[in-house]
Amino acid sequence: MAQNGTSVSIQDLSLSFGVVTVLETLNLDVAEGEFIVLLGPSGCGKSTLLNCIAGLLDVSEGSIFIKGKNVTWEEPKDRGIGMVFQSYALYPQMTVEKNLSFGLRVAGTPKDEIAKRIARAAEILQIEPLLQRKPAALSGGQRQRVAIGRALVRDVDVFLFDEPLSNLDAKLRAELRVEIKLLHRKLQNTMIYVTHDQIEAMTLADRIAVMKGGVIQQLDAPQTIYNRPVNRFVAGFLGSPAMNFIDGQAETGATAAFKTGNVSIPLARYAFDAAGNSSGPCVFGIRPEHVALGEAANAMPFAIDAAVEIVEPMGSDTLVWTKLGGQNFSFRVEAEKTLRNGEPIRIGFDPARASLFDSQSGNRM
Amino acid sequence: MQKSWRHRFHLPAVIGTIPMILVALGVFVIGIGFSVLWSFTSSKLFPTYDFVGLAQYRRLWADNRWLVSVNNIWFFGLMSITCNMVFGYLLAVFMDQRIRQEDLFRSIFLYPFAMSLIVTGLVWQWALDPNLGLQEALRNWGWSSFSFAPLVSAETALYALVVAGIWQGSGVTMAILLAGLRGIDEDIWKAARVDGIPTWRTHVSIVAPMMKGAFATAFVLQCVGVVRVYDLVIAMTGGGPGIATSMPAVYVIQLITVRQNVGQGMAGATMMLLPVLIVLAFSGILLWRRNRLREAGA
């Protein structure tokens, strides 16, 4: 399906419980067939937003449109959504087949239609051999597959996922992540997916909405969010190991530079945001993988001498901690590289790949 | 062998449980044993060992008063347990709506259970007494033709007992079922709403089956209360009018203490034990079968 038309549109949505405001005049348009991930730390309002879209929470202000229809005050079942929960929420006394069919039977769908839909969902999710089992006899991964199946048989336009993989172990999580991605490619449905796991967000999303304090901080393609975070929060939340942040002063003019201690990093290659070319205290951020070592460092626009402090081998690569301008600084090297503590090294990077944030507001400069 | 015995029975644990073991053996096993034994004798005021076979049982089941008692307890049991379960569940659902003053309401609902059945019975007896209670009060307020005296009539006295039983028991049922309801994952409710399942249907088809354990606990507690119901009857009606509200326990105690017929009383007591044993055996078999199935499944 082409990415035309808006599938879900949220307009000026606010939600407050008493004096506590959870969501604040939030706007979000999700295109048809798009996979949107709502990403943020716990308590940022991402699950609340999803529950509002599902109709499980009444909103305080604003409106929600699904497929052009105002569903703000519709019951969940009339919104054309299917939802998958973190705890699976399967009906434990019913077999898998009954779990899938119960909603349809209550709605009075014809029997042959139910059978057809269950057969289709079971085939897509490969749960045919499990249909006669009860949830207690299934593994976590199988349960979540059944939970997805229950959303699938509803034959809806929009799928909502509320941290569906958080209860699974790391290996299973990686497997199901791929399966959800394949499922999206096969079905081409709109999917809204809530997670606090940045890897899930990066791998699955067409666009990520990074949330904090009930406000969407940045809504963009994963690569853009990763490479050009709009503020310090987004920069720090995405990426593992985390981005290096160095406090210092920005100096503008003919030779723009970032100064901290006796280190001066030229900012000639840095693409300032339209708004933010000004002097003052700021934070310089660079991701550990954008730092080069040794010969490669000399080829970079900025290079400096440093000494190894701590080496953290992580298997696929190694994280090395050092100091830059007196502040902690980490960078990544190949796992084959053997560095000893205290060893003098030369590191360098291209300031074009860095991010500069205003110390006060935290916004990108 | 020696080692495994020691491994299983720690000395302090054995010492700690000795009083309980003594009570269990002395009161329950030996006491029940003698009851059964004497039920086969012609004991009158004092127990004797003159065995007469099933004669006492034959006389028991020929006694109209016993038959009425048995009928009464079935009626009382079915009515009060059913109503208690239904009311208890409805109250629990009401309490689960995140109402204000939940603690206050819970105390109010649980209060009757904290009172002795004698007190409960007495309060209800006073309230329903035509010369003291509701009827007299309303007449004094000017409604002189008002007539409400259920305990005086043989037809209605049993209903009054049932009402008192419900008043006393639904609070506990509520507390147990409320705990069960609170144990249900909120996502289940959400999933059912997304599936478009009406709330009552979610209760009946999904939530209630998930609360099997809580229901079983509440049910067993109610059953125990019904089988041994004695003080409520004594306080409210004394088994009357006539024998209209007699219950097996009332009947047995009367035979032993008033009518000085220990043998037949013991036969009645044994008959009261029988359904309990049957239920216990039945649930034991069910449990054993489930365990075997689980082992086979795992």
DSSP-derived secondary structure letter, A300: S
Whether B102 contacts chain A with CB within 8 A: no
A-B Cβ pairs (cutoff 8 Å, strict): 64
Number of H helices, E strands in chain B: 16, 0
- Give the per-residue pLDDT at A140: 87
* A132 in a structural domain: yes
The vertex-B93 CA angle with B88 and B97, nearest 5°, equals 145
* A200 in a structural domain: yes
Are A273 and A253 part of one and the same domain? yes
Instruction: Give the tens place of pLDDT for each residue, B21-44.
Output: 888 888 888 888 888 888 888 887
Instruction: Give the tens place of pLDDT for each residue, A134-153.
Output: 998 988 889 999 999 999 99
Cβ-defined contact of A86 to B187 (cutoff 8 Å): yes
Reading the block at residue B259, the tokens are 């009518």
- Give the per-residue pLDDT at A149: 92
What is the distance between the alpha carbons of residues A89 and A78, in angstroms, rounded to a whole number?
20
- Nearest alpha carbon to residue A86 among A23, A169, A147: A147
Q: Is the pLDDT of residue A3 over 70?
A: no
- Give the per-residue pLDDT at B98: 76
Are A260 and A197 part of one and the same domain? no
- Give the per-residue pLDDT at A36: 93
Average pLDDT for residues A241-265, to the nearest whole number? 85
Whether A260 contacts chain B with CB within 8 A: no
Are A215 and A249 part of one and the same domain? no
Answer whether A223's CB lies under 8 Å from A233's CB.
no
- Give the per-residue pLDDT at B53: 79
Whether A217 contacts chain B with CB within 8 A: no
Are A69 and A122 part of one and the same domain? yes
Chain centre to alpha carbon of residue A360: 25
Q: Which of A29-38, A254-263, B169-178, B269-278 has the lowest mean pLDDT?
A: A254-263
> pLDDT-based confidence at A222, cuts 50/70/90?
very high
- Give the per-residue pLDDT at B96: 84
What is the distance between the alpha carbons of residues B37 and B31, in angstroms, rounded to a whole number?
10
Q: What interhelical angle do A96-107 and A140-152 show, nearest 10? A: 20
Are A271 and A205 part of one and the same domain? no
* A1 in a structural domain: no
Answer whether B68's CB lies under 8 Å from B243's CB.
yes
Reading the block at residue A70, the tokens are 């105002």
Are A139 and A275 part of one and the same domain? no
Lateral strand order in the sheet of A20-31:
A20-31, A6-17, A61-66, A69-70
Using CB atoms, pick whichever of A51, A88, A107 lies closest to residue B196.
A107
CB atoms within 10 A of CB B54: 12
Write down the residue that tokens 């062998």 correspond to. Answer: B1
Instruction: Give the tens place of pLDDT for each residue, A311-363.
Output: 999 888 899 999 888 889 999 988 888 888 888 889 999 988 888 888 888 88
Answer whether B214's CB lies under 8 Å from B245's CB.
no
Using CB atoms, pick whichever of B190, B196, B205 lies closest to residue A56.
B190
Q: How many domains does chain A have?
A: 2
H or E segment to which residue A242 belongs: none
Q: Please state whether beta strands A158-162 and A190-195 pair in parallel, antiparallel, or not at all (unpaired).
A: parallel
CB atoms within 10 A of CB B118: 14
Q: What is the distance in angstroms between the Cα of B252 and the nearest Cα belonging to chain A? A: 44
CB atoms within 10 A of CB B219: 15
- Give the per-residue pLDDT at A201: 92
Cβ-defined contact of B196 to A103 (cutoff 8 Å): yes
* A105 in a structural domain: yes
Domain housing A326: 241-358
Are A200 and A103 part of one and the same domain? yes
- Give the per-residue pLDDT at A202: 92
Are A150 and A250 part of one and the same domain? no
Three-class SS string for B82-105? Answer: HHHHHHHHHHHHHHCCCCCCHHHH
Q: Is A140 helix (H, G, I), strand (E, B) or coil?
A: helix
Cβ-defined contact of A93 to B196 (cutoff 8 Å): no
- Give the per-residue pLDDT at A1: 38
Q: Which residues contact A291 (CB under 8 A, 6 or more apart)?
A: A297, A331, A332, A347, A348, A349
Cβ-defined contact of A102 to B193 (cutoff 8 Å): no
| CB environment A207-238: b (16+ within 10 A), e (fewer) | bbbbbbebebbbbbebeebbebbbbbbbbbbb
Q: What residues pair up with A28 in beta bridges, in sequence order?
A: A10
Q: Is the pLDDT of residue B4 over 60?
A: no
Answer whether A67's CB lies under 8 Å from A25's CB.
no
What is the distance between the alpha carbons of residues B113 and A12, in angstroms, rounded to a whole number?
52
Instruction: Give the tens place of pLDDT for each residue, B67-86.
Output: 888 888 889 889 999 999 99
Are A259 and A323 part of one and the same domain? yes
- Nearest alpha carbon to residue A82 among A158, A179, A192: A158
Write down which residue in A232, A250, A280 finishes a domain: A232
Whether B191 contacts chain A with CB within 8 A: yes
* A259 in a structural domain: yes
Answer whether A138's CB lies under 8 Å from A96's CB.
yes
DSSP-derived secondary structure letter, B25: I
The vertex-A249 CA angle with A243 and A251, nearest 5°, equals 115
What is the distance between the alpha carbons of residues A14 and B69, in angstroms, rounded to a whole number?
65
- Nearest alpha carbon to residue A231 among A243, A217, A212: A217
Q: Which residues contact A226 (CB under 8 A, 6 or more apart)?
A: A202, A238, A239
| DSSP track, A308-321 | --EEEE-SSEEEEE
Using CB atoms, pick whichever of B185, B190, B197 lies closest to residue A103.
B197
What is the distance between the alpha carbons of residues B166 and B163, in angstroms, rounded to a whole number?
5
ipTM of the complex: 0.83
Average pLDDT for residues A144-163, to the nearest whole number? 91
pLDDT, averaged across chain A? 88
Cβ-defined contact of B190 to A92 (cutoff 8 Å): no
* A173 in a structural domain: yes
Report the CATH number that the domain containing residue A342 is assigned in CATH. Answer: 2.40.50.140
What is the distance between the alpha carbons of residues B120 and B143, in angstroms, rounded to a whole number?
27
What is the percent of chain B where pLDDT is above 90?
6
Using CB atoms, pick whichever of A82, A88, A94 lies closest to residue B194.
A82
DSSP-derived secondary structure letter, B205: I
Are A159 and A291 part of one and the same domain? no
For each of the domains in chain B, give its residue range(s) and CATH number, in order of start.
Answer: 57-289 (1.10.3720.10)
Q: Is the pLDDT of residue A208 over 90?
A: yes
- Give the per-residue pLDDT at A2: 40
- Give the per-residue pLDDT at A274: 65
* A99 in a structural domain: yes
The residue in chain B having the minimum alpha-carbon distance to the alpha carbon of residue A152 is: B195
What is the distance between the alpha carbons of residues A176 and A165, in angstroms, rounded to a whole number?
8
The vertex-A8 CA angle with A166 and A118, nearest 5°, equals 60
CA A172 to each of CA A26, A128, A143, A342: distance values in angstroms, whole numbers, following the listed order: 34, 20, 12, 40
The vertex-B280 CA angle with B278 and B284, nearest 5°, equals 115
- Nearest alpha carbon to residue A306 among A315, A297, A314: A297
Instruction: Give the tens place of pLDDT for each residue, B158-181.
Output: 888 888 888 888 888 888 998 898
What is the percent of chain A where pLDDT is above 70?
98
Write down which residue in A232, A258, A275 finishes a domain: A232
Q: Is the pLDDT of residue A209 over 90?
A: yes
Q: Is A194 helix (H, G, I), strand (E, B) or coil?
A: strand
Are A103 and A135 part of one and the same domain? yes
What is the distance between the alpha carbons of residues A50 and B135, in angstroms, rounded to a whole number?
59
Answer whether A291's CB lies under 8 Å from A317's CB.
no
- Give the per-residue pLDDT at A276: 55
Report the CATH number that the domain containing residue A70 is assigned in CATH. Answer: 3.40.50.300
* A119 in a structural domain: yes
Write down which residue in A232, A250, A276 finishes a domain: A232
Are A219 and A268 part of one and the same domain? no
CA A14 to each of CA A27, A58, A214, A217: distance values in angstroms, whole numbers, following the listed order: 10, 10, 9, 16
Cβ-defined contact of B201 to A106 (cutoff 8 Å): yes
Answer whether B226's CB lies under 8 Å from B76's CB.
yes
Write down the residue that tokens 């329903």 correspond to. Answer: B128
Give the up-direction half-sphere exposure of residue A42: CA atoms within 13 A in the CB hemisphere. Answer: 2
What is the distance between the alpha carbons of residues B206 and B185, in angstroms, rounded to a whole number?
12
> pLDDT-based confidence at A191, cuts 50/70/90?
very high
Among positive and negative, which fits the CA dihedral A338, A344, A349, A355? Answer: positive
Instruction: Give the tens place of pLDDT for each residue, B208-247.
Output: 888 888 888 888 888 888 877 888 888 888 777 877 788 8
- Give the per-residue pLDDT at A243: 92
